[in-house]
Amino acid sequence: MMILRLARVQPGVSLLRGPTTRIFSPGRLPVRQLVARTQTPLTLTSSCLISRQLSTTRLLAFSARKPVAEKKFDDYKKVSLNDVKNNPIYKFVYLSKPWYQSTGFRILAVTMGLATLLYLFSDGAHKVLRHTGHAIERIWVVMKATSRCVWLYRKTLKKEYPSEEEYKTALSKCHKKAAEITLQAIRKNSGVYIKLGQHIAALTYIFPPEWTETMIPLQDQCPESSMESIRAMIRKDTGKNLDDLFLEFNEVPMGVASLAQVHKAVTIDGREVAVKVQHPSLAEFVPLDVYMTRTIFTIVDHFFPDYPLSWLSDEMQRSIFTELDFTEEANNAVKTREYFKDTYKTTALRIPEVYWSKRRILVMEFVGGSRLDNRPYLEDNNISPDEVSACLSHIFDTMIFRPGAGLHCDPHGGNLAIRTRDNSRGGHNFEIVLYDHGLYRFVPTNIQRDYAHFWLALIDSNEAEMRKYAKRFANIDEDKFPLFAAAITGRDFKHATSDLKSKRSRAEIENMVSTIASDGLLSDIMTLLHSVPRVVLLIFKTNDLTRHLDETLNSSLGIERTFLIMATYCAKTVLEERRENLIKKYSRLDIRRWIGEGFAWASYLRRLLQLKAYDFGLMVSNLF
């Protein structure tokens, strides 16, 4: 039945928009709906008559904002449709059928019914709908956490505070609360988000301690995938069951990371191996998660343009898909193992041998060990922290400065281990084991050389040369140089430019954090990092992580020996550059070439002798 609703309204009178009406005036054309289908009282601006012709002859009359009692339809003059059409004081609207009889509702009901049937009886549709549901849930988790954090910061930063101290306290609480909200969302979604949280935990020179300390548990507390999903993935990727590949397979993982987990196993031919398997769920959601990560930082950049963070998501987007291809990791491990095979005396580096790999599965030699920061293990096995620190310096200086080595981009504590050697090999009673070779970058030769010049200038406290080469390899302007020097060394500007070899004190660290917070330097640091080349960011990250490991070892030699080791690599890089330039400029018989080479070698040998003299002095002091 068509429902007719009539409105008798004085010319020029409008109905207010309320819980049961739409705005209506006599001068307008008939609208789709004047009065909603409800018994809720209307609120009107003037007396008028609302009638409705339904299967029952009842109506409600209202006047002057107050509803009146229900009356019989016969108490009012009946009007015909023609009367309404011909009388200018009446306006009418034709309404569709009740909502449960409408076309839109029927389409929705049929769609939901078909979706339910497909979900129950079609495996393909079940997977699609399940994926859609999980995707919506992940998006909701991210957007909810992001909006809460943005609201927290906007509320805190806009508020007026009686004193600077109260502002710092409020901001610290805001940092902590926002970090906890983010941590909860990261744990909920896991995967790529855990990788992001680990990176935040390592960026101690950018993010406030409330953020970095809150994210520390993500280094070792990643959710593991079920054995059922692991077995299904192995069957899908290899065409074989897990039991056909391994005699034994420990279902309890030795370690769980953000992208994969590692199980100990024994192959059919009896070799003890470590099996690295990617979390099966990553393949389903990584593209979405990477997109959402980018969206998060775009939103943050919009609300807080002084704190650009999009460079973090840019770097993740460039690297994550490479890390998820374990055949790339296998190739990197093989190349690095080959490169370092003749450096054992200085590096004590052990890289597990790769047996075979698929895109999501990597089988390699099992090489166990303890964490590098496990001081009781070092003491129980008579391992010198000083030697370990020196070996770490040689490993990562080789990767940064030597051509063809490749730079491991994720050297956090979970990817490094130390183990004893029964028979001392190469002068060491230990080995440093390096895992997770999924991401390597090769530093361009020009950046290697300019970076070497920069560090030699830092070590020599030559500020003019520092500024020159900072501009060349990182495009740092004069006004940004003090901040850059502090960021790359992890020291305040005074120590970075004049007293770099002294040990970084707790007071200095606290002073840096306080200065960044009070002077508004955080936004300047983020802007600076946004502008430097991406490979330089990776060098920053490696420097910061290795510096953290070095401080954790608490070497008795202090930071000076670490810088002297770096100086030898820098000097060798500069030597090669100078020799190459001399060869290009002068013929073999030109005396200027040989004089130039003599000076280049002398500069290199001076750095080498400084290190040897330092080591000899330590050896003598240890005898007494």
Least Cα distance to 261 among 246, 249, 247, 270 occurs for: 249
- Rounded to whole angstroms, the Cα distance separating 122 from 120 reads 6
How would you classify the pairing of strands 428-434 and 90-95?
A: unpaired
105: tokens are 């509702």
- Rounded to whole angstroms, the Cα distance separating 198 from 430 reads 28
Dihedral, CA atoms, 540, 542, 547, 549, nearest 10 degrees? Answer: 150
Contacts of 507 (CB under 8 A, 6+ apart): none
CB atoms within 10 A of CB 347: 23
Least Cα distance to 223 among 176, 185, 261 occurs for: 261
Q: Which of left, alpha, beta for 623 (phi over 0: left; psi -120 to 50: alpha)?
A: alpha
332: tokens are 């990197």
CA distances from 29 to 33, 82, 91, 109 (A): 12, 17, 9, 33
- Rounded to whole angstroms, the Cα distance separating 518 from 526 reads 16
Whether residue 410 lies in the annotated active site: yes
Which residue type does 153 have? Y
- Rounded to whole angstroms, the Cα distance separating 333 from 364 reads 10
Quick one: three-class SS letters along 106-165?
HHHHHHHHHHHHHHHHCHHHHHHHHHHHHHHHHHHHHHHHHHHHHHHHHHHHHCCCCCHH
Q: Is the dihedral of CA 469, 470, 476, 480 positive or negative?
A: negative
Contact of 450 with 442, CB cutoff 8 Å = no
- Give 450-498 as a DSSP string: HHHHHHHHHHTT-HHHHHHHHHHHH---GGGHHHHHHHHHTS-HHHHHH
Contact of 416 with 549, CB cutoff 8 Å = yes
- Rounded to whole angstroms, the Cα distance separating 488 from 476 reads 12
289, 397, 410, 544: which one is catalytic? 410
The total number of residues written for the chain in this structure = 624
Q: Where are the beta strands (DSSP E) in 289-444?
A: 349-350, 354-357, 361-365, 370-371, 407-408, 416-425, 428-434, 440-441
- Rounded to whole angstroms, the Cα distance separating 439 from 82 reads 80
Contacts of 487 (CB under 8 A, 6+ apart): 205, 206, 525, 528, 529, 540
- Tell me which residues are annotated as active site: 410
